[in-house]
Amino acid sequence: MGRILYVCPSVRQPRGGVRTIYHHVETLVASGREAAVVHFAPERPDWFASSAPVIDGNTALSLREDDTLVVPEDYPAALLALRQVPLLKVVFCQNHYHVFEVLEPEAHYSDFGVTRVLASSDIIATFCRDTFGLPTAVVPYALDLDRLAPAPAQRLLQVAFMPRKGAWNLRIVRGLLHHQHPELRDVPWVPIENKSEAETAAILQQSSVYVSTSHREGFGLPPLEAMACGAVVVGFTGGGGAAFARPDNGVWVPDENPLALARAVAQTLTVLKRAPAELEPLRANAMAMAHTFTFARQAEALRTCWGLNGHEQGAGAWR
């Protein structure tokens, strides 16, 4: 049985999609399947620890005829470079909004020899099936729920946010709050930027609120991670967040509406100042949703789609 080789972009900033690729490989290796991460640039992510085998695609990649190549949807250079390689090729799509940012509108994955799509949510899978008509399997995201756990004793009245996501909306929201709600100026805003997994978890555990400015997300892990840590999420689903966002587990407002977001943040902070217990049911619902995204669930789906649960070629998973 050949190797499963996940091609991975080399990025310096923390990205949940990169960590997910490593999770897949770790799980496959632990399940007895030969697998590795392939990087075509020398940098390897240093913001998390991983036991996944890594191959330098430029100097150490020797392909075998029974290997399977898994290529991210937003890595066109890899698709082009591997176009003529006569192996089983699978696109791993973690954000359907990226697909036609890198493909020409008339292009099809089959043009690159791709015969299957692996998706990280049902929303993404539906998009890929409807668009390309290729067999598609879903392997859901998973959270490290030991690390991403609430720490009520450490929680402060502060707001966590990610500057790289929707910076334009964050500026408007913070400006509106400053001028319209001077009583909330004492609430610190703590950025999560270029942080390790441990540092990110610590900020989320210490924050009463996470402001989500998710934009065109295939899924959007940060709000779900905040929910797992017990922060009240206020903001946008970014599209893909509809997979976990419910009226009773967050203060969700229409995407790209900073005016509505500013009002929601102000209302939430006001409640937290005056009667924080009112938000405990919402917080509990959020944590319950986050706890459905387990490594066990991800591993079961991954083993099934790669045929490690006694099903030939993952029969039934690809449809």
Q: What is the pLDDT of residues 120-171, one digit of tens each?
A: 999 999 999 999 999 999 999 999 999 999 999 999 999 999 999 999 999 9
Q: Are 123 and 115 in contact (CB under 8 A)?
A: no
CB atoms within 10 A of CB 111: 12
What pLDDT shows up at residue 136?
Answer: 98
pLDDT band of residue 107 (cuts 50, 70, 90) is very high
Question: pLDDT tens for residues 70-89?
Answer: 999 999 889 998 899 999 99
pLDDT in the model for residue 59? 83
Encoding tokens for residue 107? 């292009």
Checking if the pLDDT of 68 tops 90, the result is: yes
- Do the Cβ atoms of 308 and 31 come closer than 8 Å? yes
Distance CA 109, CA 69 (A): 14
Cα 14 from Cα 199, distance rounded (Å): 11
Q: What is the pLDDT of residue 314?
A: 60
pLDDT band, very low/low/confident/very high, at 214 (cuts 50, 70, 90): very high
Neighbours of 19 (CB within 10 A): 18
- pLDDT of 112 reads 96
Residue 13: per-residue pLDDT: 81
Least trusted range by pLDDT, from 53-67, 160-174, 200-214, 277-291: 53-67
The mean per-residue pLDDT over the stretch 32-53 comes to 89
Q: How far apart are CA 86 and CA 269, in angstroms?
A: 57
pTM for this model (two decimals): 0.94
- Confidence label for 53 from pLDDT (cuts 50, 70 and 90): very high
Domains and CATH numbers, the chain: 4-142+294-314 (3.40.50.2000), 152-290 (3.40.50.2000)
Percent with pLDDT over 70 in the chain: 97
